[in-house]
């Protein structure tokens, strides 16, 4: 997780770096005499048209290169660490932390808790603000890193300290005021815990957060995820159907208030609430461009609409296919509905949708992105899978073919004796995978 030197990993063909004969393994020391802390320093400094770049070769030889280039022209360098710095880890002991609920003896990287504002900007991660120094905040403002995604949970300072198990967690919310005043856009997240930050506390939090509009562009409310590995942790309960209905009534009421006064719904409920409540997913307009799609807010609506639109644009034919789709409990009814519509148009396509139950983390975990290879294999062993099995790409580590339990796609193929196709998590890609 740590990189102390800015080591070059790749050189883009035809780039300035290749012309200068830079190579993988070279170390970048400085640009225009200025040391580089992270990727944002690097991207800022290379904008100049005239550069003095200091490089150290693997054998210790040092090069000083004078470069003239167009403004904003890239050097064509990829570094071993995308961040070009150590990752900032989280020092909180949040009562709802999913990582604390992981089983033992998994790969080390799965236990790393990041709380890095730079990853919030680069990858959409959510941060608590408790691990930011004044220098970190100044750098966010100087480099105009927007949006920053913030795990808020409650605006009750005393309660936030208890929920994060950090005595500074309440005061750290003041950072949001600094970011707002500097024009930094933000998104917020509330992980809702039953009988802790719901009910009147949630009402208070939503009311307080309206003061951060318009820089705080959206806030999502997601249910706490509870695995079967919560031994020794704060006791938390799952939300019932009645709880979910009540929560959605609260969210919809506040959406009406925000629409009237700010012309935005501002506060959104994750799809899981609608599924648990047995209520229909809102239409696309209700999500106002899907500002929190990666947080599970409107994902099913977006996926379904893309699939239906794509299906309407094509004509059915007599092609023959025999395949299977595996998904989690949460999405299974929607996937089955889409596949049924497809098969009505393409009667020669037989696509079986298999609901995979999460024995690894426990029955409370129903999203497809947390399914493991062993659960997929166990759930499909002996089933008539057909010529291929479609799996969503959110099962995999970014850029790799390994699931959470270190089982590879190839191992699933061998165990089930079928070809596995990994499908991007959007409706258009799913449709194409079914009819190809």
- Tens digits of per-residue pLDDT, 397-406? 776 889 999 9
Q: Which residue intervals of the chain bear CATH 3.40.50?
A: 303-435
Cβ 87 vs Cβ 114: under 8 Å: yes
Average pLDDT for 363-385: 94
For position 3, what pLDDT does the model report? 42
For the domain covering 6-79, report its CATH number. 2.30.42.10
Q: Which of 219, 138, 216, 150 is nearest to 183 (CA)?
A: 216
For position 168, what pLDDT does the model report? 93
64 forms beta bridges with 54
For position 121, what pLDDT does the model report? 78
Query: CA Rg, the chain, in Å?
Result: 24
Q: Which residue intervals of the chain bear CATH 3.80.30?
A: 99-295
Say whether the peptide bond before residue 318 is cis (omega within 30 degrees of 0).
Answer: no
User: 167 vs 47, 92, 132, CA distance in Å?
Assistant: 41, 10, 14
User: Per CATH, which fold does 303-435 belong to?
Assistant: Rossmann fold (3.40.50)
Cβ-Cβ contacts under 8 Å for 190 (sequence gap 6 or more):
152, 153, 154, 197, 202, 205, 219, 220, 221, 222
pLDDT of 50 above 50:
yes
Grade residue 107 by pLDDT with cuts at 50, 70 and 90: confident
User: 84 vs 38, 61, 117, 118, 347, CA distance in Å?
Assistant: 5, 22, 14, 11, 53
pLDDT digits (tens, 9 = 90+) for 249-262: 999 999 999 999 99
Mean pLDDT of the chain: 93
Judge: domain 99-295, CATH 3.80.30: yes
Per cent of the chain over pLDDT 70 is 99
Q: Which residue intervals of the chain bear CATH 2.30.42.10?
A: 6-79
Q: Which of 398, 379, 400, 399 is nearest to 389 (CA)?
A: 379
Cβ-Cβ contacts under 8 Å for 86 (sequence gap 6 or more):
1, 2, 3, 4
For position 2, what pLDDT does the model report? 42
pLDDT digits (tens, 9 = 90+) for 405-423: 999 999 999 999 999 999 9
pLDDT of 309 above 80:
yes
């Amino acid at each position: 997780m740590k990189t102390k030197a800015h080591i070059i990993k790749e050189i883009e063909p035809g780039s300035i770096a290749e012309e200068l004969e830079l190579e993988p393994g070279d170390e970048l020391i400085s640009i225009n005499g200025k040391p580089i802390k992270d990727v944002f320093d690097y991207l800022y400094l290379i904008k100049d048209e005239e550069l003095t770049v200091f490089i150290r070769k693997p054998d210790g030889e040092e090069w000083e290169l004078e470069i003239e280039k167009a403004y904003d022209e890239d050097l064509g360098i990829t570094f071993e660490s995308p961040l070009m710095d150590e990752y900032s880890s989280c020092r909180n002991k949040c009562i709802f932390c999913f990582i604390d609920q992981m089983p033992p003896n998994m790969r080390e990287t799965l236990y790393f808790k990041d709380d890095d504002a730079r990853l919030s900007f680069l990858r959409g991660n959510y941060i608590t603000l408790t691990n930011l120094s004044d220098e970190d905040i100044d750098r966010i403002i100087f480099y105009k890193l927007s949006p920053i995604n913030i795990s808020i949970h409650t605006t009750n300072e005393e309660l936030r300290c208890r929920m994060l198990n950090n005595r500074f967690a309440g005061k750290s919310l003041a950072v949001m005021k600094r970011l707002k005043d500097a024009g930094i856009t933000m998104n917020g997240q509330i992980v809702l815990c039953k009988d802790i930050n719901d009910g009147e506390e949630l009402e208070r939090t939503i009311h307080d957060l309206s003061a951060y509009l318009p820089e705080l562009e959206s806030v999502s409310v997601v249910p706490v995820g509870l695995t079967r590995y919560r031994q020794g942790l704060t006791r938390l309960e799952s939300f019932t159907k009645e709880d979910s209905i009540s929560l959605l009534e609260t969210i919809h009421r506040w959406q009406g208030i925000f629409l009237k006064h700010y012309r935005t719904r501002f506060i959104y409920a994750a799809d899981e609430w609608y599924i648990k409540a047995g209520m229909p997913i809102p239409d696309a307009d209700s999500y106002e461009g899907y500002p929190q799609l990666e947080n599970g807010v409107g994902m099913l609506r977006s996926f379904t609409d893309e699939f239906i639109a794509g299906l309407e644009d094509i004509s059915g034919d007599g092609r023959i296919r025999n395949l299977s789709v595996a998904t989690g409990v949460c999405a299974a009814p929607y996937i089955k509905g889409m596949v049924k519509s497809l098969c009505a148009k393409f009667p020669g396509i037989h696509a079986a949708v298999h609901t995979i139950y999460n024995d690894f983390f426990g029955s409370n975990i129903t999203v497809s992105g947390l399914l493991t290879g062993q659960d997929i294999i166990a759930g499909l062993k002996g089933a008539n899978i057909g010529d291929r099995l479609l799996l969503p790409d959110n099962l995999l580590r970014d850029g790799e073919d390994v699931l959470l339990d270190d089982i590879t796609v190839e191992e699933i193929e061998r165990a089930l004796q079928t070809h596995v196709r990994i499908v991007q998590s959007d409706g258009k890609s799913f449709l194409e995978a079914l009819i190809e």
